[in-house]
Chain A
């Protein structure tokens, strides 16, 4: 499709389990972002990739969270030893950088809703 694709759309897991969330950005977009949105709140920045490298991971809450983008396209957000407080919608976004792009214009996917029981 033409938009950002995220899978799974819903994930229910038990406390302590490992979870992977996948993001397929818009073709040609070099920048990819992960945000977390708790109920009733705005999206909260987690990490930003430019190409294959993480340019800014200052938003990752702790070392249980890790993200990769090995080929500069698809990205996976990995959460180890999940806790109930990790329950949220995880949003992925992508953007063009450089000429031809509007600064700050991110294209978001529909999100992956994670519920930790």
Chain B
């Protein structure tokens, strides 16, 4: 089946640093989304991207939908302790089915 490949798999950074992670696919998606999951919780939507080349911000988060529609990146500026968690990219397949990557685990040293 379709797979989304996220990199890096894990990140260890200092508080205040900027973070960058990306996601690639062998297939085209017309919608890309970034979700965050905290321990013991379900994923929560951070940013949705609907158009190739689109750059969207949500506070300290910025995400881009690649021109080829096969990739996306997520940047977090000036990281804070509550940014800790697992970040998932997801592509929308058809009308309602999300295909998730394997996640990037972010750890922040205070």
Nearest residue, chain B, Cβ from A3: B42
Q: Does A105 contact B (CB under 8 A)?
A: yes
Q: What string of 1s and 0s marks CB contacts (under 8 Å) between A58-70 and chain B?
A: 1100000000000
Inter-chain residue pair count (beta carbon < 8 A): 65
Asked if A93 contacts B31 (CB within 8 A), the reply is no
Contact of A102 among B4, B48, B97, B99 (CB under 8 A): B48
Chain B residues with Cβ below 8 Å from A44 are: 100
Asked if A56 contacts B97 (CB within 8 A), the reply is yes
Asked if A42 contacts B42 (CB within 8 A), the reply is no
Nearest residue, chain B, Cβ from A59: B97
Q: Does A99 contact B (CB under 8 A)?
A: no
Contact of A43 among B40, B41, B44, B100 (CB under 8 A): B100
Residues on B facing A (Cβ under 8 Å): 4, 31, 33, 40-45, 48, 50, 88, 90, 92, 94, 96-103
Chain B residues with Cβ below 8 Å from A91 are: 42-43
Shortest C-beta distance, B54 to chain A (Å), equals: 13
For the complex, give the distance between the alpha carbons of A115 and B28 in Å: 35
Nearest residue, chain A, Cβ from B29: A104
Q: Top 3 closest A-B pairs, CB basis?
A: A108-B42, A42-B100, A104-B92
Nearest residue, chain B, Cβ from A33: B96
The answer to whether residues A106 and B98 also contact, given A4-B42, A43-B43, A93-B42 and a CB cut-off of 8 A, is yes
For the complex, give the distance between the alpha carbons of A76 and B40 in Å: 21
Contact of A111 among B42, B50, B90 (CB under 8 A): B42
Chain A residues with Cβ below 8 Å from B101 are: 42
Chain B residues with Cβ below 8 Å from A103 are: 31, 48, 50, 92
Starting from the known contacts A104-B48, A109-B42, 10 additional A-B residue pairs (CB-CB under 8 Å) come to A31-B96, A43-B98, A45-B97, A48-B97, A102-B45, A103-B48, A104-B31, A107-B42, A108-B42, A111-B42
Asked if A42 contacts B103 (CB within 8 A), the reply is yes
16 chain-A/chain-B pairs, Cβ below 8 angstroms: A41-B103, A42-B90, A42-B101, A43-B98, A44-B100, A45-B97, A45-B98, A45-B99, A48-B96, A48-B97, A50-B96, A59-B97, A102-B45, A104-B90, A105-B33, A106-B45
